[in-house]
Amino acid sequence: MPFDLVLFDLDGTLIETAPEIADAVNDTLARFQLPAVSQQQVNDWIGHGTRELLIQALAFTGNTPAETVRHADSFRLIEAEFSVFYARRCGTRSRLYPRVRETLQALRASGVKLAVVTNKEGRYTETVLRSHDLLPLFDRIISGDTLPVKKPDPAGIHDCMQRFGVARERTLFVGDSSIDVATARNAGVTVWALPYGYNMGQPIEACGADRVIPDFSALSTS
Of 6, 16, 9, 12, the residue nearest 139 (C-alpha)? 6
Question: Strand order in 211-212's β-sheet?
Answer: 140-142, 113-117, 5-8, 171-175, 190-193, 211-212
Backbone phi, psi, residue 88, to 5°: -70, -35
Q: Quick one: DSSP state of residue 118?
A: -
Q: How far is the CB of 53 from ligand PGA (least distance, A)?
A: 5
Range list of H helices, 72-177: 74-89, 100-109, 122-131, 155-164
Catalytic residue among 9, 11, 23, 180, which? 9
Residues 189, 183: Cα–Cα separation, whole Å: 9
Stretch that binds ligand PGA, among 6-14, 64-72, 152-160, 186-194 (CB under 6 A): 6-14
Determine the Cα–Cα distance for residues 17 and 203; give it in Å rounded to an integer: 19
Q: Binding mask 52-91 vs ligand PGA (x if CB under 6 A, - otherwise)?
A: -x--------------------------------------
Site stretch for ligand PGA (CB under 6 A), options 48-56, 93-101, 154-162, 188-196: 48-56
CB 179 to ligand PGA: min, Å: 7
Shortest Cβ 79–ligand PGA spacing (Å): 14
Query: What is residue 83's three-state secondary structure?
Result: helix
Where in 110-169 is the site for ligand PGA (CB under 6 A)? 118-120
Nearest to 144 by CA among 44, 71, 69, 48: 48
**Separation between Cα atoms, residue 216 and residue 102, nearest integer Å:** 9
Smallest separation, CB 21 to ligand PGA (Å): 8
Smallest gap from residue 9 Cβ to ligand PGA (A): 5
Q: What phi, psi does 140 have (nearest 5°)?
A: -160, 145
Is there a catalytic annotation at residue 9?
yes
Instruction: Closer to ligand PGA by CB, 47 or 154: give it.
Output: 47
Exactly one of 11, 18, 107, 166 binds ligand PGA (CB under 6 A); which one?
11
Secondary structure letter of residue 97 according to DSSP: P
Closer of 149 and 167 to ligand PGA (Cβ)? 149
Q: Give 4 or 9: the residue with its C-beta nearer to ligand PGA.
A: 9
Among 39, 48, 153, 186, binds ligand PGA (CB under 6 A): 48
Residues in contact with ligand PGA by CB under 6 A are 9-12, 46-50, 53, 118-120
Catalytic residues: 9
